[in-house]
Amino acid sequence: MKRVPYLALVGLTALATAASAQLMGNGVYWHSGDGGIPKYTPKVDGNVSDLEAGGYHLSWKPSDIWAWGDKYGYTQDSDLISRRIRVYAIDVDNNLYLADGEDPAENGTDVDLTTNYYFSWDENNFYVAANNIDNHYDVVEDRTNGANDNAFWQRDTFWITFDLSDGTGANNTNNIVDFRAAPVNANDAAFSMQIQHFQDGTGTQINYGDDPDYFLGAQLFGGPNSTGYYLESSVPWDLIFLFDPDNRNRVGSGFAFRGRFIIPDPDGDNLYGQTYFGGDQTTIGTNNKWPRFILQEDLSVPTAVEESTWGTVKKLSQ
């Protein structure tokens, strides 16, 4: 089954609703919310209900990606036959992979991976929690030749790339920061948290277990649960702005940044699947098209999420 890209995007600016929502790179709004991250200090202890109640909720899943692509277009033909499927919608991609032992009927569906992320901030930290639906919790990479702490793509991982310039700077210098967290406790593994700062086109990546002090007090709790996995983390702004200290004082109500997400989902295989949010095969490195987030005092009233089920959306591909 294949879909043909539909690239005639008509009247994009007219599609923004009065309630607003997450602004995407194609000028259309996602349905999770308005991108406003509230000022809220949770108790970071692995109980994600605190941030679920008080944080900004960002969510996407395969059925959302189908619906988005059908409405706004695809950058390439879809491929539902290969083990790594390809659904390249504008600004969001589904590249989930059929792992050995995985139920083929679940591959690339909402059961395979549904993301639920929650964000808040205060003067000291950026907070993130996850309560993801995943049919296979996997934090063990290919160890045929020994452990490889750097192989985050072979483990369930939260990965955000910050653009601290709000899309005005280059995509490979000190305004760009990668932060990754696995759904484990900080001290359980060297790879529990990873941060990579860029300067003059070169990235410097540090694993938490190799230098915990480098992370300036960052916290992480995580593990499996009955529906997939959870994590909760506090990330110091001083760490995020480590290579851009002159702009650290910009953090406060009204500060805006861009954020792109790549979420690996290996499902027990040495190969891997993934899903993108905020970038597609044509805009993955175009930071001024990544979704925009704004720090604010309070949580905005969330917009209604469009009702859709995988079964309903899946019929569109037949």
Q: Which residue in 87, 76, 8 sits closest to 314, CA to CA?
A: 87
How sure is the predictor about 283, in pLDDT bands with cuts at 50, 70 and 90? confident
The answer to whether the CB of 291 falls within 8 A of the CB of 123 is: no
Per DSSP, what are the bridge partners of residue 58? Answer: 117
- Which DSSP category does 9 fall into? -
User: Tokens in use for 151?
Assistant: 């192989």
Alpha helices in 141-189 (DSSP H): none
**Which one has a higher pLDDT value, 184 or 14?**
184
Residue 16 pLDDT greater than 60, yes or no? no
Assigned token pair, 30? 């996602």
Q: What is the bridge-based pairing of β-strands 292-296 and 36-38?
A: parallel
What does the pLDDT look like over 217-233, one tens digit per residue?
999 999 999 999 999 99
Nearest CA to 153 out of 263, 18, 24 is that of 263
Percent above pLDDT 90 for the chain: 69
Alpha helices in the chain (DSSP H): 49-54, 62-72, 237-240, 310-314
Q: pLDDT grade, residue 176 (50/70/90)?
A: very high
* Local confidence band at 6 (pLDDT 50, 70, 90 cut-offs): very low
Looking at domain 12-136+215-317, its CATH class is mainly beta
Q: Give which of 234, 247, 105 is closest to 176, Cα–Cα.
A: 247
133-159 pLDDT per residue, tens: 999 999 999 898 999 999 999 999 999
User: How distant, in Å, are the alpha carbons of 45, 53, 215 from that of 212?
Assistant: 18, 30, 6
Q: Is 52 or 3 the better-scoring residue by pLDDT?
A: 52
The pLDDT value recorded for residue 301 is 54
Whether the CB-CB separation of 302 and 53 falls below 8 Å is answered with no
Contacts of 218 (CB under 8 A, 6+ apart): 186, 193, 208, 233, 234, 235, 236, 239
Q: Which residues 6+ apart lie within 8 Å of 199 measured at CB?
A: 173, 174, 243
pTM over 0.85: yes
Contact 37, 297 (CB under 8 A): no
CA dist., res. 1 & res. 66, Å (int): 13
The rounded distance, in Å, linking the Cα atoms of 6 and 68 is 11
CB 87 within 8 A of CB 112: no
Q: What is the pLDDT of residues 232-275, one digit of tens each?
A: 999 999 999 999 999 999 999 999 999 999 999 998 888 889 99
Number of H helices, E strands in the chain: 4, 17
Band of residue 190 on the pLDDT scale cut at 50, 70, 90 = very high
Q: Which two tokens stand for residue 55?
A: 């944080």
The percent of residues in the chain predicted with pLDDT above 70, rounded, is 88
